[in-house]
Amino acid sequence: MRTFTNLKILIRRAALSLFAFMLAFSSLPASASEEEPLTGTAFFLDTVTTLTIYGSTDETLLTRCWDLLDEYENLFSRSIEGSDVWNINHSEGKPTTVSDETAFLIETSLTYSELSDGAFDITITPIVDLWDVLNNPGIIPTDDEIDAALAHVGYEAITVDNNTVTLSDPEAQIDLGGIAKGYIADALAEFLKSEGIQSALINLGGDVQAIGKKPDGSDWNVGVLRPFGEVSDIIAVVQCDGDSLVTSGTYERYFEVDGKIYHHIMDPQSGRPTDNNLTSVSILSSSSMLGDTLSTTCFVLGLEEGMKLIESLDGFEALFITEDEAIFRSSGFPED
Ligand code: ADP
Ligand code: MG
């Protein structure tokens, strides 16, 4: 039985964005001297983006951010004909020339595929399409269907040579859904900083990138949501000063059959939604792009292997939540 419609999920994601925004401001002192931020919301790459910018009244900052989002969507979207990703996926094994940004994202993805022994794999596309979690009316693919799709999954098929990308398997396809949003958040932050902004919050569907601190000099409070909880149900609060907090969770996009959740973070080994007792992984770091990649990677790796990976990397901390709502923090992840 299908319990969530597309629309409901979108509304929920919009509400999540809005809530993270409200939380960030809830602890501001109610002093009369506070300036009003520039704020705006837009919908790109299936994600609600909210910007909150302090220290400027220049409304064109917002429109220029939307232009940037538009530009990136036109490079990274799988469904926009003529995007870099669309061109690669329709190249039938022939070399494709792509932008610097796309080549960089694919190269970064490959680094994390190697680091995680294939847990992160942008060639997961045939499996993503087979499950079609957002539109699935409750149909579980058969083993044969999964095996047929898995035959075209494997990051080893990708070669990047400067701006040329080649897929050695003509039926392979890539999907940057596990990394692109983070890259875009970083790019928006870079743009705003280059315009002199020192205090802002960029929220892409609940993934947050802070610029500096709040205007009153205190840290931003960013919430980690209780998986499957109410929109306002926060399980942990993280103080952010220019940091990024990115979460991958089963509750974000899923359908349900006979009480079992089938979500959007796929295990490239099984060809099925990752089933390892985790409901969410949040990564705290200075890079939204790597936080995005690592939240998906650690989710697929599971608590033990994911934690090991995080502890082996400098500058990344993680908070894992299991199905019974136990919370596991890496050694440097701040306590509430
Ligand atoms: P969200 O987009 O909800 O923030 P994630 O960052 O966890 O979620 O990324 C999930 C998306 O990444 C999926 O929707 C799909 O496009 C892609 N994906 C799913 N499984 C994998 C995987 N094992 N490796 C790389 N990308 C994946
Ligand atoms: Mg991700």
DSSP 84-110: HHHHHHTSTTS-EE--HHHHHHHHHHH
**Which residue is closest in CA terms to ligand 1's atom 15?**
177
Segment among 10-19, 129-138, 323-332 with least mean pLDDT:
10-19
Does 8 have pLDDT greater than 80?
no
For 148, 163, 172, 268, the CA distances from 272, given in Å and listed in that order, are: 13, 32, 17, 8
Q: Determine which residue's CA is closest to atom 6 belonging to ligand 1.
A: 178
Stated length of the chain: 336
Give the number of whichever ligand sits closest to the CA of residue 122.
1
Q: Whose CA is nearest to atom 19 of ligand 1?
A: 265
Q: What is the mean pLDDT of residues 141-145?
A: 98
The verdict on the CB of residue 251 being under 6 Å from ligand 1 is no
pLDDT bin (cut points 50, 70, 90) of residue 179 is very high
Q: Which atom of ligand 1 is the closest one to the Cα of 206?
A: 4
Q: What is the mean pLDDT of residues 12-17?
A: 48
Q: Which ligand is nearest to the CA of 278?
A: 1
Over residues 226-230, mean pLDDT: 91
Cα(29) to centroid(ligand 2), Å: 34
pLDDT in the model for residue 152: 98
* 105 pocket-lining for ligand 1 (C-beta < 6 Å): no
In short, whether 204's Cβ falls inside 6 Å of ligand 1 is: no
Report whether residue 227 contacts ligand 1, using a CB cutoff of 6 Å: no
Residue 247: the pLDDT is: 97
Q: Measured in angstroms, how far is the CA atom of residue 205 from the centroid of ligand 2?
A: 12
Average pLDDT over residues 42-57: 94
The ligand minimizing its distance to the Cα of 110 is 1
Instruction: Answer whether residue 125 shows pLDDT above 60.
Output: yes
**Residue 23: its pLDDT value, please?**
53
Tens digits of per-residue pLDDT, 246-283? 999 999 899 999 999 999 999 999 999 999 999 999 99
Q: Is 180 in the pocket of ligand 1 (CB under 6 A)?
A: no
- What's the pLDDT score for residue 17? 47
Q: Please state, in angstroms and rounded to a whole number, the distance separating the CA atoms of residues 239 and 223.
A: 9
| Closest residue by CA, ligand 1 atom 22 | 120
Residue 116: per-residue pLDDT: 98
- From the CB of 219, is ligand 1 less than 6 Å away? no
Distance CA 115, CA 101 (A): 21
Express each pLDDT in 201-210 by its tens digit: 999 999 999 9
In the reported structure, the alpha carbon of residue 178 is separated from the centroid of ligand 1 by a whole-number distance in angstroms of 4
Atom of ligand 1 nearest to the CA of 47: 2
- Average per-residue pLDDT in the chain? 91
State which of 282, 296, 298 you would mutate to test the pocket of ligand 1, scoring each by most atoms of that ligand within 8 A of its C-beta. Answer: 296
Q: 288 CB under 6 A from ligand 1?
A: no
**Cα 26 to ligand 1 centre (Å):** 30
Q: What is the pLDDT of residue 34?
A: 59
Structure confidence at residue 46 (pLDDT): 85
Alpha-helical regions (H) of the chain? 6-26, 60-76, 84-89, 100-115, 125-131, 143-150, 180-194, 288-301, 303-312
User: What residues have CB less than 8 Å from 66, skipping those under 6 apart?
Assistant: 40, 42, 44
pLDDT tens digits for 28-44?
443 433 589 999 999 98
Q: Name the residue with higher pLDDT: 164 or 14.
A: 164
**Please, what sign has the CA dihedral across residues 29, 34, 36, 41?**
negative
Quick one: what percent of the chain has pLDDT higher than 90?
A: 86
